[in-house]
Chain A
Amino acid sequence: MTFTRRDMLERSGQGFGAMALAALLADDARADKALLPHHAPKATRVVQLFMAGGASQVDLFDYKPELIKRDGQPSDFGEKVEAFQNGLGPWLRPQWEFKPYGQCGKMLGEPVAPLGAVADDIAFIHNMAGKTGVHSQATYLQATGFQNPGFPGMGAWISYGLGSINRNLPAFVVLPDHRGFASNGPKNWDSAFLPGQHQGTILKPGAPRPIEDLFPGNHGSYLTGTADPDGRDTLARLNRMHSSGRSGDDRLEARIASYELAARMQLAAPEALDLSRETKEVLRLYGLDHGKSSFDRDINPLEETDAMGRKCLVARRLLERGVRFVQIWSGNDNGFPRRNWDSHEDIRRDHGPLARGMANAIAGLLIDLKRTGLLDETIVMWTTEFGRMPSSQGGKGRDHNPHGFTTWLAGGGIKGGITHGPSDAFGFRSADKGRPTLVYDVHATILHLLGIDHTRLTVRAGGADRRLTDVHGHVIEDILA
C-alpha cells in the first residue's frame, strides 16, 4: 500500500540528475546563492519557540521589584500610551515570586523555574520592541520580519539560503499547537515569493496523520494489494517513456525523483516521530514520564507539559535527523477558555499552566541537546509577538505591550548566562528608549550565526530586492559567544 525504499528504487527509473533531487530537497543551487555561506557558521540548525498571544515578560523573565513596590498604585508611564484594550489600570506586580538561578543568578518567575537549570546557557533580551499591538501584524513581524502578509517565514529564508542537511525530511518543519493555529495560520511559515519547497511542512506529533497525505488514507479504500503496485509500476514505465528523448529536462527528472523522496519520507517521518525508543531518563527530562493518558478539563500544568514536551522531544529527534529549522508553537488563536498567552483577564489562570508546561519542556530540550552535543550547533530561540503591560486592565489581566517584551536565545554561538538590553524600571519599554532591540536585529544575529550576512541574502520580488531584515538589522554582538 505504501512505498518501500526498495520498491521505489526499482520502479522509479534510474539515473535522475543530482540537481533534480537537490531541488526537491530545498537544496537548489542558484547563482546568487553560490557565495553562501558568507562566512564560517557557528550553528547549522534553529529551533524557534513561538508563544502565541503575547507572553508576559514581567511575570516570567524580566524581574521588576519596582512593580512589587508600587502594586495597585495608579500607573504612570511618563508619556502618552496607546492601549490595545483598556490596559492602563494600576501597576500590577509580578504574579509570582522570582528567585535567582545558575551561576549568573538570573531572576526567574516561579512558573519558569525549571529553566533555572539552564539559565547559564541563555542570553535574554529584555528590550525587544515591535510596531503594533495587533496580534496578526505583530505575529507576522516576528515570524517573517514584515507586519503585512506576503513574506516568507524565517525558516523558509534559511531553507532557501542554506538548503537541507538531510535526504529524507523537509528542511523546515512546523509543529503547531495541538489545539490549532495561531493568528494568520499557515501564512506564518509560508514560502511566499521563495520557491514552494521552502515552505514549512506541518507535522503533528501524536495525530493520526502527522503529515497530510504521506500515506494513502481515509479517502478511499478501493485499492487492492495487487493493483496498487501494478499502478505504480505503470506510472514508472510511463514516466520513463516520457523522459526518453527529453533527457536533461530537470523538471521531469525532479518529478521522478520526488517519488523516491516521498518513499524515504514514508520511512523517515514515522521513525522520527516514534518516541517509544526513548529511554525513561530522556522522557523524564521532558516531563513525559507521568504515565497518564487523560487530563483534567481545565487547563493544567501536566497536560501543558505533555503537549509541549512531545513537541520538544520530536524537535530534538528532527534536529538529529538533519532538519534545519523547527518551529514550535505554544498557544492557538483567540478563543475561550483561553489556550494561548493572551491573558487579558487573568495572568495566573492562563500563564501559570502554559508557562510551567513550556518551561518543563524547553528545559528538557536544552538539557537533552547539550547531552547529545547538538546544542553547540543549534540555536534555540524563544519569542512571542509582543509582551504585556506592567499595568493591569483593572483586574488580574494585562493588555498588549508592543513597546517592550522579552526574547531569548541559547545554543550555537550564543553567549549564555547574560542579559542584553535592559528594560526600564517597570518593564514597559527599553531602558534606552530610543534604542530598543528589534526583530531585525534578532534575525540578523541568527543569520549571522548560520554563516549568512543578512544584507546579502536577497530575492528579487515585486520589483524590489527583498530580504528577511527588510532594510534594517544589526547583529547583536553582545550576545555572541
Chain B
Amino acid sequence: MTFTLFIVCLGLASPPDFNREVLPTLREHCFQCHSHETGKNKGGLVVDSSNGLRLGGDGGPAVNAQKPDQSPLLLAIRRQEGVSAMPPAKALPEPARIVLERWVLAGAPWPAESGVSPKPVKAARNGVITPADRTWWAFQPLAPTAVSVRDAQSIDLHIDSSLKARGWNRASPADSADWLRRVTYDLTGLPPATAEAKAFAANPDKSAAIDRLLASPHFGEKWGRFWLDLVRYAESDGYRADEFRPTAWRYRDWVVAAWNSDMPYDRFLRLQLAGDELEPNNPESLIALGYLRLGTYEYNQRDSTAQWNAILEDITDVTADVALGLGLACARCHDHKYDPLLQRDYHALKSFFSGLVWRDDVPVSKAEAERMLAWEKQTAQRREQLAKLEAPHRRIAFQDARALFPPELQKLLDTPREQLSPAEKQVYDIAYRQVQYEYDHLETRMKDAKAREEIKKLRLELKAETPTFATAQTVSEVGATVDNPTVAKRGKKPEPIAPGVPTVLDRLGLPAIQVRANSSGRRAALAQWLTGPENPLVPRVMVNRVWQRVFGKGLVATTSDWGTLGEKPSHPELLDGLTRGFINGGWKLKPLIRAMVLSETYGQSSVRLDNPAMRDSDSDNRYLWRGPSRRLDAEEVRDSLFASANTLDRTVGGPGVGDDAPRRSIYLKVRRNTRDPLLAAFDAADGLQTTPQRLPTVTVTQTLLLRNGPLAESQSAALGKLIVSSGEGDRIKALFLRALGRLPRPEEASAVENAVASHANDAACWTDTAHAVLESNAFLYLE
C-alpha cells in the first residue's frame, strides 16, 4: 500500500474504483479462463485475488510490484510482442484496457472487502512438491528442544509461561463439586453418583478420583464414542434401503474395550487397518477391521465399477482425515490447491487399500468356526437337497439380476470368478451381492406356487435349527497379487499408481511391503508407516485430539485440518512435548488424559470476572486463562436424564438396542436414516462423514424436546417420584445431588423452596421441579 501511495504522489495514475470498474472488467474479460468462479486456471493463473496475481502462473507473477509498468498482465493486455496476448482471441475494448492499465500501474490494489476469493491462491503444482512445501510446520519432526511432557505439572508450567508472556494468569481453582462433575463427565460421560459426590466433598482427593474414573468400564464408552465419531460409525447401509448391519456392534464393543484396556494407540490403529495381515491369529483383528466396513452401501447400484471405486476412495479419505489430520479428498481429482499434496499422493494412498474384499459372516473365534463347520456337516444333506430344488429358480433369479447390469458387467458376471483379474474379481464380488440378494429372497419372487411352498418350508426348517453364530463383517484381500488403481490424465493412458506415502513426507521411508500367502501386505506396510517411530503427524494429531476433548479447543484448533488452511498450534512446544511423552510412554492414552485432567490448568474455575481483558482478547480461551466449560454432549444429555432418575441400565456392550431402552446412548442402534431425535437434536455425529469435533448448537427443537419430549417427561416423573419416596429429609438437597452432583447454592435452594412451599406433598410438584432442574442451564453446561 505504501507503494500505491508513492505512485499516486507522482501523479502517474490514480486507481480506478475497484468494485465499480476493475472487478466487473476482470470478471467480464478474464475470469472465464482464470478464476475460481469458473474453475479454470489456464497457464496456472487465477486473477480473482491479489494473491493469485502476485503468485501468478507458469510464467511467474502477473503483476510486478517493483515495476508495475513491466507487469506481464499489462504487457499481455497491451498485446506487446514476446508476451502471450490476452485475451487471446481479441484485444480488450479500449475502455476496459484503460481501466486495467490504470489499475495495474497503481499497483493493482485489491481491497479486502471486495469479497472475491479471500483465500490464498496457489498456482498449479504440476505434480511437484517444492523444498518450501516441505517446511510446513506439521511435517517437521518433533522439535529437538521439546522436552517430554508426561505429568500435570509440566502442562501447567507450559500454560503458565504462555499466560505470563501475555501478562495474564490462571483463574482460581474450580469449586470442588464442579470439578468432580466436570471430570466425571469428561472421563465417563456420566454424572457423579450421589455417594461419589458426598465422598469427594469429604475428601477431595483428585488423583484418586481420576484413577477411579479411568478404571471405570464407562471410560471406554465415553472415549470410544469419540473415536466412533471420527470413523463415522453406524449400523446401517444408508441410502434408500438403509439395511441394518446386525453385527456391526462388535466393532463398537472392540473400540470401547480397547480404550478401557488402554491399548496403545499405534496398535489400535494398526489392528484397524491391517489386523488380518499383522496379527492373523488374533480373533480381535477381524473385528477391528470393521473400520474398513463402515462406509455406506447402496444395494441396487448397477455401476459396480464406480461403486467399488467410491468405496475405496471413501476409505482413503477417512484414513487421511483420521490418522493424518489431512483433508486429502481434494487431491482425488487434482493436486491440492493449497496443501502440498499431489493427486498422485492420493492414489498412492488409495493403492494401499486396493486389495480389499468384503467378507461377511466370518466367525469371530476358532471355536465359533468349528461350531459352524460342525453345523454345516450336520445339515449337508438337507442343504444339498434344498440346493437341488432351488437350482432352476436360482438360474432365473441370476438372469433377472444380471439383466439389470450394464453389458460389461453382465460379461463379468458370466465369467467364472477364478478367471478374472484381481480388480475384476473385486467388482464381480460387489455386483454379485445383488445376485445373492435375489437368491436370499428366492421364495418371494417365485411364480410356481407349489415349488415355492416347498422351498419355503425347507428353508424355514433349516433356519429353525440354525444356531446364532457369532460373526463379524470384516475384510480380507483378493489375493497375494492386486491391481494398482489408475489415474487418467487428459489425453494420456491411465497410469497405474503403486502404494506410496505422501511426497511431502517421503523422507520417512515406507517399510518394505511383504506379500503374504493370500494378501498383498500393503495395508500392513501402511499401518507400520503411519505408526513408525519417525512419523511426526500421526501421534501429534492424536495427542491434539485428546487435548481438544479435555480442554475444549485443540492446541491446533482445526483438529482434522493440519494443512496450510488449518490453524497453527497455540503452544507448539507443549504439543511436541506431549507428543514426545506420549511416544516415550508407549502410545498409551490413559496416562496422557490423566496428566491433562490432573493439571491445575484443567482444574481452574470456568467463570472468571476479575479480568475482562482476557475475555475480550481471547474469548475462545485458547490460552486457558480459565477452566473449560462445555455443554453436555448429546449422549450425555440422554444418559444423564436416565442416570439422575436412577433408571439407567449400565450394562456394558452387546448388540444395539431400540430408542426406548434405558441403556447408554452408545448402545442404541445407529441407523443412518432414522436417528434418535434427541441425539440428533443435540448435535450427535451422523455417521456419514468423519466428525472430529461436535458443533454444539442451541435450537428450539432441543428446547421442545426437553420441555415436551417423552424422555424428559418420563425421567422427570421418575426423578420426582424418587425424591418423594426416598425419605430424604431435605428433598431439595437430594434433588440437586442427583441431577447436578452437587448441593444447591443458598439462592437456588430458596428459589425451589418458594416454588414447592405450597405443594410440599404433591408428587406432581416434585416432578415439575425435577423437570425444571433437568432442563436448566446448570444441568446442560459443565462448569
Contacts and interface: CB of A to CB of B under 8 A. Distances in A.
Interface stretch (B168-176, B297-305, B643-651): B297-305
B714 A219 contact: yes
Contacts of A68: none
B311 to A, nearest CB: 11
B37 interface: yes
B57 to A, nearest CB: 20
Contacts of B241: 136
A235 B775 contact: yes
B115 interface: yes
Given A136-B239, A213-B708, A190 B686 contact: yes
Contact of B695 (A38, A195, A214, A228): A195
A185 B674 contact: yes
Interface stretch (A110-118, A243-251, A318-326): A243-251
Interface string B755-783: 11001001111011101110111101100
B767 A222 contact: yes
A82 B695 CA distance: 43
Contacts of B762: 224, 227
A291 interface: no
Nearest to B756: A230
A238 B773 contact: yes
B298 A234 contact: no
Contacts of B239: 134, 136-137, 149, 184
Interface stretch (B348-356, B419-427, B462-470, B743-751): B743-751
A207 interface: no
Contacts of A235: 771-772, 775-776
Contacts of B672: 149, 187
Interface string A134-151: 111101000000001110
Q: For chain A, which range describes its interface: under 10, 10 to 19, 20 to 34, or 35 or more residues?
A: 35 or more
Contact of A150 (B406, B689, B755): B689
B700 A265 contact: yes
B689 A462 contact: yes
Nearest to A225: B764
B404 interface: yes
Contact of A38 (B115, B326, B769, B777): B115
Given A184-B240, A214-B708, A254-B698, A238 B302 contact: no
A201 B698 contact: no
Contacts, number: 226
Interface string A195-209: 111000100000000
Given A134-B302, A185-B674, A463-B560, A24 B707 contact: no
A230 B708 contact: no
Given A24-B700, A227-B768, A265-B700, A219 B752 contact: no
Interface string B236-254: 0011111000000000000
Interface residues of B, number: 89
A190 B238 CA distance: 14
Interface in A379-408: none
A223 B768 contact: yes
A35 B115 contact: yes
B563 interface: yes
Contacts of A259: 703, 707
Given A136-B240, A223-B768, A241 B115 contact: no
B240 A135 contact: yes
Given A196-B683, A219-B710, A255-B703, A234 B769 contact: yes
Contact of A219 (B686, B713, B769, B777): B713
Given A219-B709, A255-B777, A232 B714 contact: no
B737 interface: no
Contact of B403 (A86, A148, A149, A463): A86
A177 interface: no
Contact of A262 (B115, B561, B703): B703
A195 B697 contact: yes
A181 to B, nearest CB: 9
Contact of A246 (B115, B607, B756): B607
Contacts of A226: 759
B623 to A, nearest CB: 18
B449 interface: no
Contact of B301 (A20, A134, A232): A134
Interface string B13-33: 000000000000000000000
Interface in B404-460: 404, 406-407
B369 interface: no
A456 interface: yes
Contacts of A238: 748, 751-752, 772-773, 776-778
A227 B701 contact: no
B707 A462 contact: no
Contacts of A132: 301, 303
Contacts of A212: 677, 704
A393 to B, nearest CB: 12
A183 interface: yes
A187 B673 contact: yes
A196 B696 CA distance: 9
Q: Which of the listed residues A196, A201, A246, A254 has the most CB atoms from chain B within 10 Å of its own CB?
A: A196
A216 interface: yes
Nearest to B750: A237
Nearest to A250: B698
10 contacts: A24-B698, A134-B300, A137-B301, A148-B296, A222-B713, A222-B763, A226-B759, A241-B747, A255-B780, A463-B321
Given A136-B239, A224-B765, 13 more contacts: A84-B302, A85-B404, A132-B303, A150-B689, A222-B767, A230-B756, A231-B755, A235-B775, A239-B776, A256-B777, A262-B704, A460-B561, A463-B563
- Please give me the 7 A-B residue pairs with the lowest Cβ-Cβ distance, nearest first: A463-B327, A231-B768, A136-B240, A150-B688, A235-B772, A254-B698, A219-B710
Interface of B: 36-37, 39, 113, 115-116, 238-242, 296, 298, 300-303, 310, 317, 321, 326-330, 403-404, 406-407, 560-561, 563, 565, 607, 609, 615, 631, 672-674, 677, 681, 683, 686, 688-690, 695-705, 707-710, 713-714, 717, 745, 747-748, 751-752, 755-756, 759, 762-765, 767-769, 771-773, 775-778, 780-781
